[in-house]
């Protein structure tokens, strides 16, 4: 059985590395990009089961990335230290996870999110 594919959009290299390592250790296939533009390109090239995006990116925001992924039928999550800056309307369309997350919490959140979209 193929690993479930996840796109991680995170501009902080050490955070991206840590999250990628946690998810790969849990047998997920993870692609990592650091900008909104790179994420939007990836979304046209590959169908991900889940897109996890940081809220604040160097060239845009993670909400735009998550919105586009959702339009394409992908499950979405915003992982941010600025959860209170997300409007209720935006939060209603995407999972919102607060940084930092312990590894066990991250894996559990990913598994719950994927289960809701019919893994």
In the chain the domains, ranked by start, together with CATH numbers, are 5-116 (3.40.50.2300)
Would you write out the chain's pLDDT as a tens digit for each of its 119 residues?
578 999 999 999 999 999 999 999 999 999 999 999 999 999 999 999 999 999 999 999 899 999 999 999 999 999 988 876 788 787 778 899 999 999 999 999 999 999 875 54
- Res 1: pLDDT: 57
Phi, psi of 4 (to 5 degrees): -70, 130
pTM: 0.93
User: What does DSSP assign to residue 26?
Assistant: T
- Res 19: pLDDT: 97
Rg (CA), the chain: 13
One-character DSSP codes across 39-61? HHHHHHH---SEEEEESEETTEE
- Please report where in the chains the tokens 């290299």 appear, as a residue: 13
């Amino acid at each position: 059985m193929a690993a479930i594919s996840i796109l991680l959009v995170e501009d902080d290299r050490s955070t991206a590395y840590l999250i990628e390592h946690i998810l790969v250790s849990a047998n997920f296939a993870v692609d990592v990009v650091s900008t909104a533009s790179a994420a939007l390109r990836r979304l046209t090239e590959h169908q991900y089961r889940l897109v996890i995006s940081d809220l604040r990116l160097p060239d845009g925001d993670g909400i735009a990335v998550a919105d586009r992924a959702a339009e394409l039928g992908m499950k979405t999550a915003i992982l941010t230290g600025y959860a209170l800056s997300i409007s209720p309307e935006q939060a209603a369309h995407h999972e919102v996870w607060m940084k930092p997350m312990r590894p066990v919490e991250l894996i559990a959140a990913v598994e719950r999110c994927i289960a809701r979209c019919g893994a």
